[in-house]
Structure 1
Amino acid sequence: MDFQGSLFEAPTIEAPLFEGVERTLLSRGAWIDIGRAWLPEADDVFATLVRDVPWRAERRQMYDREVDVPRLLHTYGVGDPLPHVGLARARGALSAHYRPELGEPFVTAGCCYYRDGRDSVAWHGDTIGRGKTQDTMVAIVSLGDPRRLALRPRLGGSSISVVMGHGDLLVMGGSCQRTWEHAVPKVAHAGPRVSVQFRPLNVF
């Protein structure tokens, strides 16, 4: 069975999914949307991702030495079939819902596997590519154990936190990638979690 769908006619989820999505306005033109228990079949999607995604470990230069990236990674590029039909439907629904604001579809899916509380991601914005100079969106679907996503303004000010639970959706939009940073901090105890980040073309 082909789960890919076309970039412009991806299978979609029913519109009522977005009825419970709430927007929070941040500073300097940034915003986030949050939808709780947003993804149908979250249990099956999570099990499939843990089992079937070709996860890889990476090492990155940190000052004068190489260190392990504290999570496993895989990216599904433009045209790559996604590992579960639920993700293809989710991407289609997100593209249809946000196209009036975004002006284009979501076409890639970056996946991060947080194996336990020691896995994390440091403060950053998705500013490689067009996200450095243009408003854009990144839609995150969280699966598995709850983890805290922290956000802070780049120029200083109050930070906020969102605990992302199993099947939750968080969309960062407007100037969020340029004017705010986000992170998933380490915690003492946590079970496995997979984060799927849907992005438009040339946003990393």
Structure 2
Amino acid sequence: MTAAFQASLLGLDDELGVGPLGDTVRRTRLDHGAWLDLRPGWLTGADTLFERLAEAVPWRAERRRMYDRVVDVPRLLKFYDEDETLPDPVLDDARRALDAHYGRELGEPFRTAGLCFYRDGRDSVAWHGDTIGRGGHEDTMVAIISVGSPRPLLLRPRGGGPSIRRDLGHGDLIVMGGSCQRTWEHAIPKTSRPAGPRISIQFRPHGVR
């Protein structure tokens, strides 16, 4: 079900930019060497960025084979490879800030940016890990900024088990690190409740998809 985008009352007048990281980031240790960092409201003026990206990004609707049929991907997509210009300067600022904070721990910079546009509650992503490439056999990080209406991100151990829920939107940052991509799965579930649009920006190192 679709709901109109509602801007955050706290962010209506905020200037677009990234805040500090450092000790504002809260880390949760998960099982099997995985961890999760959360920094609520890291991107100020996030509603402005949502509106810019919704209009400026050349969104693509894709179809993928699933078992014996081809189905619509239930979200719009755009991938920015290492040599592509990002769609807004604040995303360059965000990537530089992430590199400064995580560079020593990660051992390399973030290189690519994948954008997903969840238009309403019918758009989703199924349980998965980013295991195409090095994420399937190496520890790595995926940093996600959420703008627009909050949607729940669920995480669970690979193979099943109790899930963890984080509601993300309005400039929140979440970073999945360590073994998270190969030992845990994450998903954005469908919902029948009214859900406004959300855009996620996923920064990844080279060779991680």
TM-score scaled to structure 2, two decimals? Answer: 0.89
Q: 1:79 aligns with which of 78, 83, 88?
A: 83
Alignment of 1:1-204 (within 5 A): 16-188=20-192, 189-204=194-209
Distance 1:68 1:155, change over 3 A: closer
Relative to total residues, which structure has the larger strand share, 1 or 2?
2
Shift of 1:19: 3.0
Shift of 1:13: 5.2
Q: Name 2:11's counterpart in structure 1.
A: none
Q: Distance in 1 between matches of 2:169 and 2:21?
A: 16
Q: Distance in 2 between matches of 1:60 and 1:120?
A: 14
Structure 2 unmatched ranges of 5 or more: 1-16
**Cα RMSD over matched residues?**
1.3
Q: How many residues align?
A: 192
Q: Is the 8 A contact 2:80 2:112 kept in 1?
A: yes
Structure 1 unmatched ranges of 5 or more: 1-11
Q: Distance in 2 between matches of 1:13 and 1:120?
A: 27
Q: Which moved more, 1:40-49 or 1:76-85?
A: 40-49
Q: Distance in 2 between matches of 1:182 and 1:129?
A: 17
Which residue type is aligned with residue 190 of structure 1? A
The alignment-based identity, stated in percent, is 64
Q: Name 2:3's counterpart in structure 1.
A: none
Counterpart secondary structure, 2:135: helix
Q: Distance in 2 between matches of 1:158 and 1:53?
A: 36
Counterpart secondary structure, 1:166: coil
Q: Distance in 1 between matches of 2:90 and 2:51?
A: 12
Shift of 1:141: 0.2
Q: Which moved more, 1:167-176 or 1:60-69?
A: 60-69
For residues 92-136 of structure 1, what are the alpha-carbon distances to aligned partners after superposition, in whole Å with 9 as ceiling and x for unaligned? 100111011100000100000000000000000000000000000
